[in-house]
Amino acid sequence: MSELDPATLMGRVKFRQLRLVDALARVGTLGRAAAALNVTQPAATKTLQDLEALLGVRLFERTPRAMVPTEIGAHVADYARRVLADGERFADGLISLKRGGYGALALGAIMATASDLLPRAVAALKQQRPLMTIRLLAATSDVLAAALARGEIELFLGRIPAPGDRAAFAFEPLAGEELWVFADASHPLAGRSRIDPAELGGLPWVLQPASSPMRRRIATAFASAGLAIPDNRVETTSIFATLNLVRRAGMVSMLPSTIIAHEVARGDFVRLPAQIAVEVGDFGVVTRPDRPLSANAHAFIAVVRALVRDGPPRS
């Protein structure tokens, strides 16, 4: 089969074919993919066969347990995910615009921004553009960077996960953050004026997953203090779960001060005098340099810059 030029190829690839490839890559069988798309399995099989015939390659290997993407199949599935994400944003934005709104904005944010900067930024943006739809992904920077690379979000507030990723993203620093080791006010270590780092190693901890940039920095700080990451731990990206495990399960954790300062001031939590210094660096606005930003994204970034410049609200 002769190679099609890009314009002809893209004119022949159908949206339903991309939807099937995306679903099949996620669920692993044609039966489940067909059910997810509300079509019959023979129709799903025909759709896949037509696309493979058009491209001239096999996209999935049939194994006894599942259908696994080939190297080219994974490339097509990644493209399908990006096209479908763009299509969903297009549909959301179109509906909003037809109603007299400002379209849609998909963005992400790390948990350090969730208690103060992010809600203030969203509130300020909503004052300017009340009918704009905002789709928010709250996660760690590594998860957000992957979502940005796939085109699922337009920007995020966080950090570039690793030095090797800097070429793929643009970064505008906004502010630093301080990490506090903390526990419930009823914890046996509450009220201590000094805690030896070795004592912390024997406690049950709640930490972010090992893949997150924050966790890697915490691991480096523990190593500098002569400690390994505690074996007795729970790993989660959820702020809600972290706070409740500290509150109700007698665990300790380390979070940005902006998240827990209010509860520490109120006396619900205590900051532990741990001699562990974590160098976290600034967080900021992360975008893709190869994709122009929408007007909504520019408006959000302008709001965030103004809030950081003006500082936290006076109580």
Domain map of the chain by residue range?
A: 6-80, 101-176+282-310, 179-271
CATH fold of 101-176+282-310? D-Maltodextrin-Binding Protein; domain 2 (3.40.190)
CATH architecture of 6-80: Orthogonal Bundle (1.10)
Phi and psi, residue 137, nearest 5°: -115, 115
| pLDDT, averaged in runs of 10, over the chain (315 residues) | 72 90 92 93 93 92 90 91 83 71 86 86 92 88 91 92 83 88 94 85 90 85 86 91 95 90 93 80 91 92 94 68
Same fold for the pair 101-176+282-310 and 179-271: yes
pLDDT number for residue 237: 86
CATH of the domain spanning 179-271: 3.40.190.290
Tell me, yes or no, if the pTM score tops 0.85.
Answer: no
